[in-house]
Amino acid sequence: MSDTTTQPSALTTVELDQPIRRGESELKSIQIRKPKASELRGVSLSDLFDMKADAVLTMIPRVSSPTLTANEVNQLEASDFAKFAVRLVASLLPQESQQEVASLGLN
């Protein structure tokens, strides 16, 4: 049996400026992981690298933990959406480029 768990280094945490209400609780931070190739189906890589809203909105539920619903993603504050977009694009870069992004404080 192959190990399908995500390595901790493949996760990044997005601290939300505006928490997401889910029932009686609030989500103040969300983890996103590096997407697998199959999760990129139907999404243009160039649209992701351009941080086009439709592409990013499509990807967030696929890579977030806890998994966000489409409605929750559509209701994100603009600043939180921008954080997701930057971290999602950074996760697509080769590891050496990710280290450069981290050193600039952009991740």
pLDDT tens, position by position, 3-32 = 444 344 578 899 999 999 999 999 999 999
Per DSSP, helices labelled H in 1-107 are 45-49, 53-63, 70-74, 78-92, 95-103
* Residue 2 pLDDT > 90: no
Q: What residue ranges in 6-69 does DSSP mark as E strands?
A: 11-22, 25-33, 64-65
Look at residue 1 and tell me whether its pLDDT is greater than 60. no
Task: Choose among 53, 79, 78, 81: nearest CA to 68.
Answer: 81
* % pLDDT > 70, the chain: 82
Question: Higher model confidence: residue 25 or residue 97?
Answer: 25
Cα separations in angstroms, 83 against 1, 3, 46, 65, 79: 36, 30, 18, 15, 6
The Cα 53–Cα 56 span in angstroms is 5
Secondary structure class of 65 (helix, strand, coil): strand
Amino acid 97: pLDDT: 73
At 75 the pLDDT is 96
